[in-house]
Amino acid sequence: MPNNEVMQQRCSLCKRVITIRDQYDMPIYDPQSGFALCKNCIREINHFLDEHESEETVEKKKDFALTLDDTLTKNKPHIIKEYLDEYIIKQEHAKKILSVAVYNHYKRMKYGYLNHEDGTEIEKSNVIMLGPSGCGKTALLSHLSTLLDIPFAVTDSSSLTEAGFVGADVEVAVRNLYYAADKDIEKAEHGIIYLDEFDKIARKSGENNSITADPGHEGVQQALLKMLEGSVVEFTARGQRKHPEAPTIKVDTKNILFIVGGAFVGIEKVIAKRLQDSGSAIGFGASIESKDDKPKFDDLIRKVRPEDLMKYGIIPEIIGRLPVICTLETLDEDALLRILTEPKNAPVKQYEKLLAMDHVTLIFEEGALRAVAQKAIERKTGARSLKGIIEDTMLDVMFDIPRSDEPRKVIITADCIRNGEVPKIEKL
């Protein structure tokens, strides 16, 4: 309707005739059908909906809080840790921190669903994990995700770019969570987001790097900061191109728990420098250059402080939003040995099962296992290369064994691993 035209219109609901001076007098008016609703009626409707909905949602929330009791009982920290113990060797501290973080997340959720008069707020404790390559960061989180009853999504931060750059916008992390929640917005709003490879978005001009070009990393951090602080993130459905008219999905990140992790290669030098500058009697000096000095590397990394992360190139506001710092340890030969055989999905167990299907018993000599672990240490990729090293040796065995159905045994010796000697296959 033209702005300054005064006209009269009957409300389709209360039938009163309203003099319309501006749109506010008759907020809903369709000139074609003549359907109109006056502001009083709209207010009534809103009021009704508010009252009705709030009763309904209060009940719903109470029901949900009750189901959370069950979840809380099933997800006590020691139970979560026991589950992680089945797959992850060592990293006791990280397992404890994650178990407590998840349990507290559930508790905080329950608290939020119950009405609290005293106004106490439980703030979330986002976690940052640091540890060398192949020590189990990604593995820990992926096992955790299979255990949890709440949506959990892992997003690789290295694929994120500032809006306008080629790559994925940060909203992708929330979109992944939304799909992990089976497109249930309310569930997604209480989920957990793990941002892997978080060090890859460090500002390149941080002290770890002399290159000044920065393909939008600071912009990514700024965008992530908004998410961490709690904001309504808007994104389009998967497969839908982003254009102004595309329908969007909105998810509030206020209650989402964020866990970020990365290797932060070179941060030990930043830490050592700080300790030296502050005159701390740590006496590392040149020895930190030696990568083989594992215990020293672990000693340093354990002393990481927020300011080291800032020097590394993470903006202070983000660090402020990640109050729990968790460091993982370098895996030594004994730990790698255990990883080969102990976890539920241990490489040796997997090969044993594979060969058993061909009636073959697989025997890894102790020396062979140790040789695998030593080779992995030489490669400096933690536990990551273990499977590949065994695979190299096992390929011929797995190729030749199915030639016959006879029960046999295969013995893998240290020489098979070290010098590529062909494994012995014997009749049983």
Ligand X SMILES: Nc1ncnc2c1ncn2[C@@H]1O[C@H](COP(=O)(O)OP(=O)(O)OP(=O)(O)O)[C@@H](O)[C@H]1O
From the list 406, 337, 346, the residue with the least C-alpha distance to 375 is: 337
Binding flags for ligand X, 385-404, as an x/- string (CB under 6 A): --------------------
Q: At what angle do helices 137-147 and 92-113 cross, to 10 degrees?
A: 40
- CB 326, min distance to ligand X, A: 12
- Under rule CB under 6 A, residue 139 binds ligand X: yes
Task: Give the SS3 label for residue 230.
Answer: coil
- Under rule CB under 6 A, residue 137 binds ligand X: yes
Of 359 and 380, the one with the shorter C-beta distance to Mg ion is 380
CA angle centred on 330, ends 419 and 277, rounded to 5°: 130
Contact of residue 133 among ligand X, Mg ion, none (CB under 5-8 Å per partner type): ligand X
Among 188, 228, 383, 412, binds ligand X (CB under 6 A): 383
Binding flags for ligand X, 82-111, as an x/- string (CB under 6 A): ------xxxx--------------------
Binding positions for ligand X, 29-58, rule CB under 6 A: none
- Under rule CB under 6 A, residue 143 binds ligand X: no
- Cα 173 to Cα 336: distance, rounded to the nearest angstrom: 32
Using the contact rule CB under 6 A, the part of the chain among 24-32, 41-49, 136-144, 310-318 near ligand X is 136-144
- CB 63, min distance to Mg ion, A: 38
Among 9, 91, 138, 221, binds Mg ion (CB under 5 A): 138
- CB 130, min distance to Mg ion, A: 12
DSSP 27: S
Find out whether 153 and 171 touch, Cβ atoms under 8 Å: no
Query: Which residue's beta carbon is nearest to the bound ligand X?
Result: 136
Give the length of the chain: 428
Binding positions for ligand X, 230-289, rule CB under 6 A: 263
Contact of residue 151 among Mg ion, ligand X, none (CB under 5-8 Å per partner type): none
- CB 97, min distance to Mg ion, A: 17
Of 75 and 327, the one with the shorter C-beta distance to Mg ion is 327
- Cα 106 to Cα 76: distance, rounded to the nearest angstrom: 10
Of 29 and 152, the one with the shorter C-beta distance to ligand X is 152
CA angle centred on 392, ends 391 and 394, rounded to 5°: 60
Of 126 and 413, the one with the shorter C-beta distance to Mg ion is 126
- Cα 208 to Cα 104: distance, rounded to the nearest angstrom: 34
Token digits of residue 324: 């729990």
Count Cα neighbours of 280 within 13 Å in the Cβ-side half-sphere.
13
Other C-beta atoms lying within 10 Å of the C-beta of residue 293: 16
- CB 269, min distance to ligand X, A: 17
Among 97, 193, 339, 417, binds ligand X (CB under 6 A): 339
Burial of residue 356, with CB atoms counted within 10 A of its CB: 0-12 exposed, 13-18 middle, 19 or more buried: exposed
Of 137 and 190, the one with the shorter C-beta distance to ligand X is 137
Among 126, 134, 304, 313, binds ligand X (CB under 6 A): 134
Among 18, 38, 128, 136, binds ligand X (CB under 6 A): 136
Other C-beta atoms lying within 10 Å of the C-beta of residue 64: 16
Token digits of residue 363: 């025997």
Provide the pairing of β-strand 35-37 with 28-30. antiparallel
Phi, psi at 75, each rounded to 5°: -120, 40
Among 10, 294, 384, 424, binds ligand X (CB under 6 A): 384
- Residues at the contact surface with Mg ion, assessed by CB under 5 A: 137-138
